Amino acid sequence: MPELPEVETVRRGLAPVMEGQTIERADVNRPDLRWPFPMHMAERLTGQQVERLRRRSKYILADLGSGETLLIHLGMSGRMLVSGDPLGRFVHDHPAPEKHDHVVLHMGNGARITFNDPRRFGAMDLMATDGAETHKLLADIGPEPLGNGFDEMILLEAFRGRKAPVKSALLDQRIVAGLGNIYVCEALFRGGIHPARKAGRIGAELVKSLVPIIRTVLEEAIEAGGSSLRDFKQADGELGYFQHSFDVYGREGQPCKRTGCDGVVTRIVQSGRSSFYCPVCQR
């Protein structure tokens, strides 16, 4: 599933052709994805101006002139693809419709935004913009790791007395928003923390050091265009390439990249997910 950097990359790709533009027509080609679409979704989107495109955790939120917000979740294989972009950043010709083009937004500037999702694990919903944070998918999400609401004291308090492994704690969206398996593995490597170590047993200074590390890992991934794993693509169709910079993720059996370390990257399974780490560097 795309993590925060992938979703932020898609949001940034969509913003220039959606913000301030009107959805002249919305085509909704099936009744549902992971869950049923809201009633009359096509009619509620058609004719609305996209006033702002923002992100909350792994969700893209499009605030509309109608006072509603379109929530978009990419799921496992969802892609938002742009064609006909008048800014000249994407391919101008609209491609022929594909089998899994489930929602298509025809913008007033000539751009076409296509939500394509072969596995249909993605989602879309409409909600009132005022109070959107109370939506069932957003209500319990913690602070954004790149925002001012995420700091050392927040993480210290979240870890205090916690018996769960630190890997599981950082994946808990109630503690911090948007982190997934990839970037937690990378952050823990940079912090020198074993993924199975109990969160509540990590010293305060080490916990505090994780905050800037997490931010740096995410910022580097966003700058690189997100990670390309399986189906993820940016809004312009290009694959991300941060995966070429992974220190541990997916590198089982390969030498540790840290200078002077003779460790070999190891993989363990935690709660059904692979954790990659260096047993020498991470304690």
**Does the 4-134 domain belong in CATH 3.30.540.10?**
no
**What's the CA dihedral at 114, 101, 122, 27 to 10 degrees?**
70
Distance separating alpha carbons of residues 105 and 92, to the nearest angstrom:
16
Instruction: Look at domain 152-277 and name its CATH class.
Output: mainly alpha
Burial bucket for residue 205 (CB in 10 Å: 0-12, 13-18, 19+): exposed
26 in helix, strand or coil?
strand
Distance separating alpha carbons of residues 38 and 103, to the nearest angstrom:
13
Which residues, other chains included, contact 131 with Cβ-Cβ below 8 Å and sequence gap of 6+? none
226-250: per-residue pLDDT in tens? 664 444 556 665 545 566 679 999 9
Common-topology check for domains 4-134 and 152-277: no
Q: Where are the domains of the chain?
A: 4-134, 152-277
> Rounded mean pLDDT of 126-137?
96
43-99: per-residue pLDDT in tens? 999 999 999 999 999 999 999 999 999 999 999 888 898 888 666 655 557 778 889
The pTM of the whole model exceeds 0.85: yes
166-219: per-residue pLDDT in tens? 999 999 999 999 999 999 999 999 999 999 999 999 999 999 999 999 999 999
Q: Is residue 59 within 8 Å of 10, Cβ to Cβ?
A: no
Q: Which residues are catalytic?
A: 2-3, 58, 273
